[in-house]
A and B are shown apart, each in its own frame.
With several copies, the nearest count.
Chain A
């Protein structure tokens, strides 16, 4: 199962702008399990997620923590927006 991760703003310091993960050892994975997995792989992510507000979108939509990811899903990790000026 291939999951694409897109990071923005301060999260790019840890994850880069975009990464592609292959989950091969299990049939399915929930969003929260996937974030835990990311946090193990990328040090600093847990601390940052505790420090700032953030939003996680799957294919552009807000979903429950238990939402099961599917092959090809795009997971975006976003801090509070700072558009406008």
Chain B
């Protein structure tokens, strides 16, 4: 079972990640399912200027590893890669990459979906949304609190 996680400001190559996954799994891998999240340019009808992601390291990376191993075990996955980007990201920028290798398409799809849901809730990664109508901390799956302390200039 191959697991690789990374929290980084860099933008990775999906081709290289896919090759890495294939190289590190055995010859019975028939399916790779991938999810990529992108910064949306509009949320709740408001223009989004950028997102700022921050992570509580090293525990955020450890949480991603835990999710990857547990889901791989549960669904018989052959390989899992999770890359989460942090820092300033702009509309159209990719935020997260989840790649899952499995013998069949069913395992791969189930694996990638479950991993994404768990990353959203268990990852110690946090999002600030900078929009035309203010700055919002995003808590959990959609709750927003307006930022009440201006960042020092």
Residues of A within 8 A of B (CB): 6, 8-10, 12-14, 52-53, 57, 60, 76, 78-85
Contact residues of B between 22 and 38, Cβ < 8 Å to A: 30-31, 37-38
Partner of B95, one of A8, A60, A85: A85
Least CB distance from B98 to A in Å reads 9
Known: A81-B140, A85-B30, A85-B96. Contact between A52 and B127, CB under 8 A? no
A52 touches B125 (CB 8 A): no
Residues of B within 8 A of A (CB): 30-31, 37-38, 53-56, 58-60, 62, 84, 95-96, 105, 116, 119-128, 137-141, 143, 145, 147-149
A82 touches B139 (CB 8 A): yes
In the assembled complex, which residues on chain A have CB atoms less than 8 Å from the CB atom of B141? 82
Partner of B145, one of A6, A10, A76, A78: A10
Least CB distance from A53 to B in Å reads 7
B145 touches A81 (CB 8 A): no
B124 touches A82 (CB 8 A): no
Interface core residue of B31, B56, B60 (most chain A CB under 10 Å): B56
B56 touches A76 (CB 8 A): yes
What are some 26 contacts across the A-B interface (CB < 8 A)?
A: A6-B56, A8-B54, A9-B54, A9-B138, A9-B139, A12-B149, A14-B149, A52-B139, A53-B139, A57-B59, A78-B56, A78-B126, A79-B139, A81-B120, A81-B123, A82-B137, A83-B60, A83-B84, A83-B126, A84-B37, A84-B96, A84-B120, A84-B123, A85-B37, A85-B38, A85-B105
